[in-house]
Amino acid sequence: MALSMLQKMVLDILREPPTRLINFCIASSVAINPTSFNRVHGEIANGRIDVISAGITQSGKLIREDAWFSRDERRIYINEKLAQSAQFGFNTSALILHECVHVYTFLTNPSLSLGDDEATAFLTQCLYGLMKNPNYRQGVDSINDPKTRQIFSAAINIIDTWGLLSRTTLSLSKQAVASLYLALSNHDQYRDVYVPMAA
Ligand SMILES: [Zn+2]
């Protein structure tokens, strides 16, 4: 099967050095490590998970989101305004890696709670972003929507507090990640997230 340019660009992100340094899990939920990304790489390379760019003339969701994973269609959508360039910026790559985490949880633990799924995806996204470019931190500070900024700030705080950037592997307790569940639950898009009790 011939892979599209877009598929190859996503496969490249999964094999990048920063991606391969990510190694953590939240409590007993899905572990994210090189094996996880190898699995997603294989699914995309074999065409079992599709990657396409989406235009602004399609459904409302296509207009709002920059990238998302559709479980029903087994397909990662990337907004065509981002997919046009021959190379993704680090913010876009980080976002696509977030969607690849959703692919992995869909394949391995489809009943994972929304909170665990999103917390794992946002921590992965921020870990990649911080390793890829030190300016990622400033970028998060300048996110306009306060509820979205709160999610990213919480994720980066957790990364700093637990030293995720300098550890080879780490299992985070639910309490350690509670601020991220709380930030998610305050956001309209993730209001169903269950916030675990503080220790
Ligand atoms: Zn997500």
- What is the per-residue pLDDT across 146-158, written as a single tens digit (0 to 9) for each? 999 999 999 999 9
The answer to whether position 197 is within a domain reads: no
The answer to whether position 152 is within a domain reads: yes
pLDDT band for 109, please (50, 70, 90 cuts). very high
The answer to whether position 199 is within a domain reads: no
pLDDT at residue 191, rounded to an integer: 85
pLDDT at residue 57, rounded to an integer: 46
The answer to whether position 81 is within a domain reads: yes
pLDDT at residue 173, rounded to an integer: 93
Instruction: Check pLDDT > 90 for residue 81.
Output: no
- The H helix count followed by the E strand count for the chain is 10, 6
Instruction: Output the CA 92–ligand 1 centroid distance in Å.
Output: 13
Instruction: Output the CA 99–ligand 1 centroid distance in Å.
Output: 6
- How many domains would you assign to the chain? 1
pTM tops 0.75, yes or no? yes
Which of the two residues, 85 and 112, has the higher pLDDT score? Answer: 112
Instruction: Output the CA 21–ligand 1 centroid distance in Å.
Output: 20
Instruction: Check pLDDT > 60 for residue 139.
Output: yes
Q: CA-CA distance, 28 to 173, in Å (whole number)?
A: 9
Instruction: Output the CA 121–ligand 1 centroid distance in Å.
Output: 6
Residue 130: which of 87, 168, 159 has the closest Cα?
A: 159
Q: CA-CA distance, 51 to 13, in Å (whole number)?
A: 13
Average pLDDT of the chain? Answer: 90
Question: What does the radius of gyration of the chain's CA atoms come to, in whole angstroms?
Answer: 16
pLDDT band for 167, please (50, 70, 90 cuts). confident
Instruction: Output the CA 120–ligand 1 centroid distance in Å.
Output: 9
The answer to whether position 195 is within a domain reads: no
Q: CA-CA distance, 135 to 146, in Å (whole number)?
A: 19
Domain enclosing residue 94, as ranges: 5-190
Instruction: Output the CA 199–ligand 1 centroid distance in Å.
Output: 26
The answer to whether position 155 is within a domain reads: yes
The answer to whether position 198 is within a domain reads: no
